[in-house]
Structure 1
C-alpha cells in the first residue's frame, strides 16, 4: 500500500487511440482522403483512399480523372493506385474530371466498389462533341483488388443525344453494398429529382427506384446518400435514400428546417441490437447561428415504424462545423454488445475538423459523445478531418475493429486503432456485523476492533493476454454523519480513512486483496451503517510481445458504463443485541443533589448566601435493548448559571450557557454515570423565585423510537431569616415519560 492517491481516473478520450495514429499522405491538391475504406483480404489489410482530382498513373492524357489508392497498413505506409478495367464495347470513356473515388463501399465478403459520378460515355457524341452527359460509373473489384468490372447503370444505347431520364443521372455519387446488392445514388435522374439504382449481383439486373407517386420534387437530389437495412423484419432488406434538396429542406421521411440539407448522409444501423435497423440522418447545414449541423435519430419499432428520438445529436454545437456531414457504422468497438457510430464535423474549428463517437445502447444511442477527436490531436494539423470515416475492419488482430478517417484538404488519411476494452467485475467482501466490544486485531500494540475488507476484481469480456494491473482507492466510513468524526481508519496516525492498493490479475481470474480497517476508541454513532467505497482504474498491462505482430500492442482501457461506473460500495453495521428489530430501550435516569443538607423544623433547605453552588449527580441505566446516541439535556431557570461537568465518563459534551448536552452510547443492561456532578450557581443580584425547576431530558437515536426522562427539582424559598441567611427548602420528584 502506497501513499499516493488516485486522482484522475478517466481521460477525456475513450478507446480510439490518438497517440499512435497511422498517417498516409497523397499528392498535393488531389483531395486524397475525400473517401476512405478499410479492406481486408487474404490475411492482408489495406486502406483504400479516394482522391477525386488526382492525376492517373495509367493515363497521362486524362485531366485529373481522380484515383483510388491502395495503401498498406501493416507493411510500411506506401500507397499505389488501383487500375480500372474497360467499360464495354459501345463505350468510349471521357475520364477528365470524372471524380473517381467520390464514393467507396465494401461488401461483407470483401468485394469493393469505387465510383466516379461525373464520368461520361462519349461513344456516340465524340465526333460532334455535343451532349456529353455525366452518366457516372462504378467499378466492382474482386476481393484481392486485382480485377474490376465497370457498371454504368444510367447509360442507355438508345439514349444517344439527350438526357431524358438518365442522361445526367451521375450514378455513384454515393454507394452502399449488401451481400447481393450494390446500391448507387443517382441524384441527376429526371432533372435532378434523383433516384436510387440497385444492381443485383446474382441476377446481373439493375433496378431503378424512382419517385412514381411524385412526392419528391424536381431538384431534390434523391440518392445523394444511400444505405440499406432490415426495417420491416429481420430477414427483409429495405433501401434508404436521402434527398437533401427536397423542398429546400431535405427529406428522408420527414421535412425539416429550410436549407438544413437533411438527408445529406444516412446510416442504417441496429443501434439497440434488436435485429431491426434504426436510422440516423444527417443535416449538416442546420443552422441556429451558422451551419452547426445535426443528426436525427429514428428508432425502429417494427414494420418500418420509425419513431424519432426526443433529442438530436449535436456534437459540440460548434459554429460552421457541419456536424453530420458523414455518419459511419463502426461496429461494437467498446465491447458492450451494441454497435457504435462516428459522426464527422469536417469544418469544425476553422476547417480543422473533428469526429465524434456515439455508443449504441439498449434504448437506442447515447445522447452525449464518448470521444471527440480533432484534426489537431494527431500530430501534424489536418484540414477537413472527418469528411469521410470507415470502420468494421480489425487491422492489428486485437479483436477490435479500427477506424479510418479522411482529411482531404491536407491530402491525408489516418487510421486510428482501437484499444481493447476491459470489463471489470469489482466487489467488496465485508462481515455482516461488527462487534464493537471484542477487539480482534492489534494496532500499535493495543487491542483494537477491526474490520477485514476484501477488494476483489475479475476481468471479463474478450480475452486479453498477459497480466492486468488494477489500481484502487479504498475509503472507510464513506457516508458517515458530518456531525460525528470518522469511525474507522487504516494504518497510520489514525486520521486517514483512505488507503490505496493495486493487484495484478488475468482474464476470468478472481483476485482479491484484504485490508484491515480499525475502529476508533471514541465511536459514538453505532446506529448508522458503515459504508466502504472502492474507486478503481486500470494500471499497467504486461504481455509478451508476439514476434508476428507488426504493430505494437495497445494498452487496454476500462469500459465506460455511465457515471460512477468505476465505483463500488458495500456496507456493514455494528452488531445490535436487540430483542426487536428497531431496538426498544428501557432507559432510566437517577438524579441526586450533592449539596450540604440542612434542616429547619425537620424540613431540608438550601441556604442562599456563601454556599452558592448546587451539585447534581446523574446516573443513566438501560434495562432494555441498546440505546444509540442517547442525549442528556439539562435545563434550568435564568437565575441559575451553569458552570461545568466535574466528572464525566467517555462521551461528548456539547454545552451552551443554558443547555448542556452529553452524548454517549449505552448498551443493554449497562449503567453509565453520564455526568457525575454538574455544578450550577446563582447569578449575582438575582434571588430565587418561590420555586424553580431543574430538568434533565434523555433522548436516543433509535429508529422509530425515542424516550425522554425528566427530573423536576423544585427549590422553595423560606421567607424567614436564619443567622442572616435566606433559606430555601427543596423537594425532588422524578418522572419517566415516553414519546
Structure 2
C-alpha cells in the first residue's frame, strides 16, 4: 500500500490518495467532508505517516494539516520506548506566535495516546536558537549517535535552520512491597502490637519489615542504574511508626541503591517500629482539652508509600546518549491493618454499659464538703477501641481527685472531664474510675448538681456508639436535719421521686469505705444516679 498526500484536493481542503501495490491503475481517495469539520480539513495530506499504532498490527494512516489548529507536519518516528508500538511526531510550526513546537505521541495497544507524551517548544527548550516555524518538516528513521534509539531532524524554515533531536534510552520502574515479620521471611497481613519483638535503647517496640523490590525495564540500558527510593511512613498519622536512620526516628527518608536492569531486585528490608505509647485509639471527642493534639488511632490502617527516581547527579551535565529517562512515575502505596481481635472482618462491634454512682443520696449544704463519684464502664460486645469517657458537671465545682488518664477543664460554667479508657476494653471487661469533687465553692442558692456522662467507641463501619446518662443530685439546706430525730420525707432525684429518711449529720458525712467497686451483687451503693439511659449513634 502506498499513501500519497494531496493537499490541494478540493480547493485546498486536502486528501490522501491510497494505491495498492498489486494494481496501480486504481486508487482510493481518503478525505473528510470539510463541511463536517471545517477547521480540521485545511490542506490535509500535507504530510502522511503510516504505522502500526494499535495492538492489531494493522497499518494505519495518520495525516497532517498545517493550517489546522495543531497539526502541520507529521512523521512516524519508530518505536521510541520499545513497547512494540510505533510512535509519531506532530509539528505545529505556527504555535507560540510562529515559533513552533513538536509533539510526541506514543502508540499503545489501544491506539495513539490521547495526550502528548512530550512537547518540545522552540520558544522554551530551544530559545537560544531563536527559531521560527519550528516543526514544519520532520525527518526520522536514523540513529545518528549509535545508541539504538531513533533520532529526529526538525526543520525551522523561517530561520533557515534544522535541529537534530537525539533520543535517549527509555526506562520504566515497577515497584513492589510486602510486609514480613522482623528478620523473617514470613509474610504478615496485620500488625500485632502485643508482639513487641524489637528493642531500641532498652525500649521494647512492636515492629515489622518492609521488603521492597524494583524491576527496571527497557532496551539497551546500562547494566547498573543508580536509583533513589523515597519512603513515607504513615503520612496521615505520623506518630504511630518510624524508621531508625542513624540516630534519628524518621517518617520520611530516602535510600540510594545501585540496581541491576532487566531483573527484579529486592533490596535490604527496612524495619518499622511502632511505639505503643502513641498507637492509641482516636475517637469522636466532644471536648478538646487544653487544645492538645488528638492522638492517633489504630483502627485506621498504616500506609507505606514508596516512589523511585533516577539519580540525576550520576548523569553528566552534557548530553548522555546512554543515560535513560523514566517513562512513568514509579510509585506504590500499601496499607497494613492492625490486629483488633474482632474476627475475620476486623470490624469491632462493642456494647458498652455505663453506670454512674455515688454513696451520697443528697448533699447537705454547709456539711458535705466533698462529693464522691464512681463511674463503671462495662463492655458486653467485642473489643472496644478508643474508648472515651466524658463527664459534664454543672455548676462548676472543684475536682479534688482525678485519675491520671483523665483531664478536666472549665467551660461555660461547668466542669468537663475527658478520660481515656483501657485500649482495648475487651469483652466482658469493666473499668471503674473514682472522682472526688469539692463543694466548698458552691453558692448557697445551688439546688442540685447535674452530671452528664457518656462513653464512646468506634463501632462497626467506624460509626460511633455512645451510652449516655443524665443525673441530678439534690442539695438540701442544712437546717433540714437534726442530730436526734429521724423522719421520712420526699426527695426529688432527677425524674425519680423516692422516700428518704432524714439522717443525722454524722450519717451524712462522706464515707468512701461504704463503696466497694469490686462488689455489685452483695452490696449496692446508697443511691444509683440514673434518670435517663439511651443509645446514640453518630454516622
Per the TM superposition, whether the score is higher than 0.5 is yes
Structure 2 residue 260 is matched with structure 1 residue 506: yes
One of 578, 584, 588 as aligned partner of 2:349: 584
Cα RMSD over matched residues? 4.1
Residues 738, 196 of structure 1: alpha-carbon distance in 2 compared, 3 angstrom cutoff? closer
Deviation digits for residues 440-481 of structure 1, max 9, x if unmatched?
Answer: 21223311122312222112343523211221211111244x
| Mapping for residues 111-150 of structure 1, pairs under 5 Å | none
One of 480, 488, 491 as aligned partner of 2:244: 491
- State the secondary structure of the residue aligned to 2:362: strand
Distance 1:185 1:365 in 2: 21
Consecutive unaligned residues in structure 1, runs of 5 or more: 1-177, 210-238, 243-249, 287-292, 294-322, 544-550, 598-603
One of 558, 567, 575 as aligned partner of 2:326: 558
Is the CA contact (8 Å cut-off) linking 2:65 and 2:73 kept in structure 1? Answer: no
Distance 1:616 1:190 in 2: 96
Q: CA offset at residue 348 of structure 1?
A: 2.9
Residues 674, 327 of structure 1: alpha-carbon distance in 2 compared, 3 angstrom cutoff? farther
Structure 2 residue 195 is matched with structure 1 residue 438: yes
Aligned to 1:373: 120
Q: Which has the higher helix share?
A: 2
Residues 429, 688 of structure 1: alpha-carbon distance in 2 compared, 3 angstrom cutoff? same
Distance 1:337 1:644 in 2: 76
Q: CA offset at residue 682 of structure 1?
A: 8.0
Q: CA offset at residue 397 of structure 1?
A: 4.1
Q: CA offset at residue 261 of structure 1?
A: 3.8
- State the secondary structure of the residue aligned to 2:158: helix
Residues 714, 208 of structure 1: alpha-carbon distance in 2 compared, 3 angstrom cutoff? closer
- Report runs of 4+ in structure 1 exceeding 6 Å deviation: 186-201, 492-495, 651-655, 727-730
Deviation digits for residues 8-46 of structure 1, max 9, x if unmatched?
Answer: xxxxxxxxxxxxxxxxxxxxxxxxxxxxxxxxxxxxxxx
| Mapping for residues 569-580 of structure 1, pairs under 5 Å | 569-579=333-343
Aligned to 1:274: 56
Is the CA contact (8 Å cut-off) linking 2:88 and 2:106 kept in structure 1? Answer: yes
One of 165, 169, 173 as aligned partner of 1:416: 165
Distance 1:198 1:334 in 2: 29
Distance 1:667 1:685 in 2: 39
TM-score where L is the length of structure 2: 0.71
Aligned to 2:476: 718
One of 380, 384, 388 as aligned partner of 1:631: 388
Aligned to 1:348: 95
Distance 2:168 2:333 in 1: 28
Is the CA contact (8 Å cut-off) linking 1:405 and 1:415 kept in structure 2? Answer: yes
- State the secondary structure of the residue aligned to 1:513: coil
Residues 707, 266 of structure 1: alpha-carbon distance in 2 compared, 3 angstrom cutoff? same
Distance 1:197 1:709 in 2: 81
Residues 442, 556 of structure 1: alpha-carbon distance in 2 compared, 3 angstrom cutoff? same
Distance 1:696 1:613 in 2: 19
Residues 270, 353 of structure 1: alpha-carbon distance in 2 compared, 3 angstrom cutoff? same
The count of aligned residue pairs is: 459
Distance 1:717 1:188 in 2: 103
Q: CA offset at residue 344 of structure 1?
A: 0.8
Distance 2:274 2:217 in 1: 35
Is the CA contact (8 Å cut-off) linking 2:55 and 2:110 kept in structure 1? Answer: no
Aligned to 1:606: 363
Deviation digits for residues 578-611 of structure 1, max 9, x if unmatched?
Answer: 24632233434454537xx6xxxxxx53222375
Distance 1:588 1:447 in 2: 34
Is the CA contact (8 Å cut-off) linking 2:467 and 2:534 kept in structure 1? Answer: yes
Structure 2 residue 75 is matched with structure 1 residue 328: yes
Deviation digits for residues 529-585 of structure 1, max 9, x if unmatched?
Answer: 111111221226989xxxxxxx9533112222xxxx422001111111224632233
One of 136, 139, 155 as aligned partner of 1:390: 139
Q: CA offset at residue 375 of structure 1?
A: 2.8
Q: CA offset at residue 635 of structure 1?
A: 3.1
Distance 2:271 2:36 in 1: 62
